[in-house]
Amino acid sequence: MSRKRWLALIAVAMLLVVSLVVNAATSTFFSNANSIFDTMGQEWAEQIIESGEEFGGSIVVLEINGAIQDTGDGGLFATTGYRHQMFLSQIEHAAENPTVEGIIIRVNTPGGGVVESAEIYEKIVQAQTEYDKPIFVSMGSMAASGGYYIAAPADKIVASPQTITGSIGVIMESINVAELAENYGVKVNTIKSGPYKDIMSSTREMTDEDRVILQSLIDESYDEFVRIISEGRNMPEADVRTIADGRIYSGKQALELNLVDELGSLDDTIVMMKELVGNVDVIKYEPHIGLPSFLSMSMKQLLSGDHELASLERMLSTHRSPTLKYMYTD
């Protein structure tokens, strides 16, 4: 066996030991932390970040950090990024928990997929309508495009004056390498069942007919975005369309446009929620590295030292398939 493989096996063993030790220490030290496993087998911990004076209830803080994309459960190396299915489970759990008095969602994202943003939106509305839970959104450094989409139905939106938000709109992108391929003598043979089967192909120029078809998809998703804001912010659709031209706004500008309700930090948002529901405990749902996450990794992932190469491969495969996005791109 090569030296590289031996080092990989030693690293795996060390990670396993560390994972077991950390889990044991966590369960002992955080006596008030409850490990939760949802129906998908995902894990997070409840940690009290601020004790309240009133007994029995709680305010839950959830976080969205990074692009809103459902990339699946990446195991150990996915614990620090946004995990879509786990977030949906977290908000559903908080909504169904009768001891939860209110939910705060800390949003720090440039946006993401149209479908994923819609799934979060539906969970928020469900928590409000079916479980009567007030939901506040606290915007971090960025809550743009899909980040604003999911904030729109909140009972209160709080942003920092420097928050980058807005970017209301839909985008779909692809890279065309047809001319480059021709220069290098690369020919692509395509057999298709219909004239539009290879629409947005990277190896041929887009036709006017292609553009009309794709624009209809963009317009449909854009209309839905406008409707969500109009209903959530109680604004006429015409007013929404005036400011929903894709540009970004600062938190201060968003306040002037009625896109947010208050200027402040996460701490300020917690104070506002306590004024509504009472001085109860503030609990944060945080993913942590546990044995289930560790064991969910494939042996191929563990033994391979080419994690960066694998990430690059995933990125390239994703961008080869153009999708509708509520995404701010700079």
With a CB cutoff of 8 Å and minimum separation 6, the contacts of 171 are: 218, 324, 325, 327, 329
Element (H, E) at 137: strand 135-144
| Residue of 19, 58, 138, 145 marked active site | 145
d(CA 230, CA 223): 10
Instruction: Clarify whether 284 is annotated catalytic.
Output: no
Contact 285, 46 (CB under 8 A): yes
**DSSP letter assigned to residue 228:** H
Burial 227-251 (b: 16+ CB within 10 A, else e): ebbbebbebeeeebeebbeeebbbb
Query: Rounded to 5 degrees, what are φ and ψ at 161?
Result: -55, -30
CA distance 19 to 302: 14
Rounded to whole angstroms, the Cα distance separating 231 from 187 reads: 50
Sign of the C-alpha dihedral computed for residues 253, 113, 178 and 183 taken in this order: positive
Q: Which two tokens stand for residue 30?
A: 């955080």
Annotation says 89 is catalytic: no
Residue 288 CA to its chain's centroid (Å): 17
- How far apart CA 182 and CA 180 sit, in angstroms, is 5
Of 170, 140, 168, the closest CA to residue 233 belongs to 168
Which residues are known to be catalytic? 145, 197
